[in-house]
């Protein structure tokens, strides 16, 4: 029986060097005809970011629309990160700092009218300019000619009926973990050996949120939730000597449930309960009697107030379509 040919060391080094040079040739310091050095990797389209509670929020909006309910105006305050957990390398916090923004999207999905209180810096600056008669609403005001200035009217800013505050209050690592590692092979030094491993771990994140009457500062609703997050890892490896050459092969896969999506799920579940209370909705069974197309301004991506009276022809129904407006996926859009 013929033994496999050994690969000389100098030939192996030459092969590795050639491969490295070939990979290096894939990138160049010279800009191409487009003006870029390289084309970014990845072409996944923009998609909705729903949670298991997004459909319920849209259902609430449809219920209120069909029942002709007058929804209260909601303002979103600070929903801060109170866990105090940060990355060990100093790159930032482990939990999203955008829970307030998630709450805004959630209430919009539920059809609740929102008033801005989270970032009023631009409005306050415009109000200051208007108070000094520096703001004009003319389409193209002449820089060297006085034009009609914006008036400040009493009561022109709608107030909120309720506002939301709270925070992410828990982040507990490794609530439970388990795993198994196995290895086997021949007893001789040159015999092949293999390994197999599998691990999983559970952690959780908690949220406390409250709804406050703006006029009286009475706390009218308090909700506390937690969600567990799971991660898993599997892997296998092979180490062997074949024909005088060493082969070390390993493969594996791992997945961790998105932590920030868990926070969004907590926020949306809390908003579902708060909104159902404000609407007086009996429960999920009410979703069986509403028309899901009754309000085209609300969907799993959020909600909006139409700028024009063209609900039948605008893009309200296509906001969750991943191919819409994508020049690689939308056949009605042509590259130029």
Query: What residue spans define the domains of the chain?
Result: 45-115+158-318
Q: What per-residue confidence (pLDDT) applies to 170?
A: 95
Contacts of 233 (CB under 8 A, 6+ apart): 197, 198, 199, 200, 252, 253, 254, 255
Burial of residue 316 (number of CB atoms within 10 Å: 0-12, 13-18, 19+): middle
Q: Work out the percent of the chain whose per-residue pLDDT is above 70.
A: 83
> 160-190, pLDDT tens digit by residue?
999 999 999 999 988 887 877 777 776 666 6
Radius of gyration of the chain (CA): 29
Which position has the higher pLDDT, 243 or 85?
85
Smallest CA-to-CA distance from 9 within 17, 193, 1, 249 is with 17
pLDDT band at 199 (very low <50, low <70, confident <90, very high): confident
Lowest-confidence pick of 153-167, 230-244, 298-312: 230-244
**Adjacent-strand bridge partners of 238:** 194, 249
Q: How far apart are the first and last CA of the chain?
A: 64
Does the pLDDT of residue 292 top 60, yes or no?
no
Smallest CA-to-CA distance from 123 within 74, 94, 156, 89 is with 156
Q: Give the span between the Cα atoms of 228 and 250, in whole angstroms.
A: 30
Whether 45 and 73 have beta carbons less than 8 Å apart is answered as: no
Smallest CA-to-CA distance from 164 within 221, 242, 225, 226 is with 221
Q: What per-residue confidence (pLDDT) applies to 181?
A: 78
Which position has the higher pLDDT, 315 or 134?
134
Does the pLDDT of residue 271 top 60, yes or no?
yes
Q: What per-residue confidence (pLDDT) applies to 297?
A: 83
Q: What per-residue confidence (pLDDT) applies to 190?
A: 65
Smallest CA-to-CA distance from 174 within 227, 255, 226, 230 is with 230
Does the pLDDT of residue 42 top 60, yes or no?
yes
Q: Rounded mean pLDDT of 253-273?
A: 89
Which CATH class, in words, describes the domain spanning 45-115+158-318?
alpha beta
Q: Rounded mean pLDDT of 102-108?
A: 97
Whether 7 and 245 have beta carbons less than 8 Å apart is answered as: yes
Which position has the higher pLDDT, 212 or 179?
212
């Amino acid at each position: 029986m013929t033994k496999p040919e050994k690969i000389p060391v100098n030939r192996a080094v030459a092969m590795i060097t050639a491969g490295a040079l070939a990979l290096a040739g894939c990138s160049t310091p010279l800009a191409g005809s487009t003006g870029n050095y390289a084309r970014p990797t990845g072409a996944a389209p923009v998609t909705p970011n729903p949670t298991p509670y997004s459909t319920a929020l849209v259902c609430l909006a449809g219920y209120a629309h069909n029942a002709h309910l007058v929804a209260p105006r909601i303002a979103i305050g600070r929903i801060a990160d109170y866990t105090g957990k940060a990355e060990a390398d100093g790159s930032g916090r482990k939990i999203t700092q955008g829970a307030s923004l998630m709450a805004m999207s959630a209430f919009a999905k539920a059809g609740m009218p929102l008033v801005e209180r989270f970032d009023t810096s631009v409005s306050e600056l415009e109000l200051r300019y208007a108070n000094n008669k520096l703001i004009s609403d003319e389409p193209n005001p002449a820089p060297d000619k006085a034009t009609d200035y914006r008036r400040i009217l009493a009561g022109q800013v709608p107030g909120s009926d309720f506002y939301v505050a709270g925070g992410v209050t828990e982040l507990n690592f490794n609530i439970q973990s388990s795993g198994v590692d196995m290895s086997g092979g021949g007893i001789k030094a040159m015999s092949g050996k293999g390994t197999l491993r599998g691990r999983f771990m559970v952690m959780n994140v908690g949220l406390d949120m409250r709804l406050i009457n703006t006029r009286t500062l009475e706390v009218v609703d308090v909700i506390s939730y937690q969600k567990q997050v799971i991660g898993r890892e599997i892997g296998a490896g092979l180490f062997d000597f074949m024909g005088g050459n060493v082969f070390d092969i390993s493969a594996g896969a791992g997945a961790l449930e998105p932590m920030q999506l868990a926070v969004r799920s907590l926020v949306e579940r809390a908003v579902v309960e708060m909104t159902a209370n404000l609407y007086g909705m009996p429960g999920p069974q009410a979703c069986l009697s509403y028309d899901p197309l009754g309000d085209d301004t609300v969907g799993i991506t959020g909600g909006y107030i139409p700028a024009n009276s063209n609900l039948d022809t605008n893009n309200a129904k296509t906001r969750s379509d991943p191919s819409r407006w994508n020049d690689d996926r939308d056949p009605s859009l042509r590259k130029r």
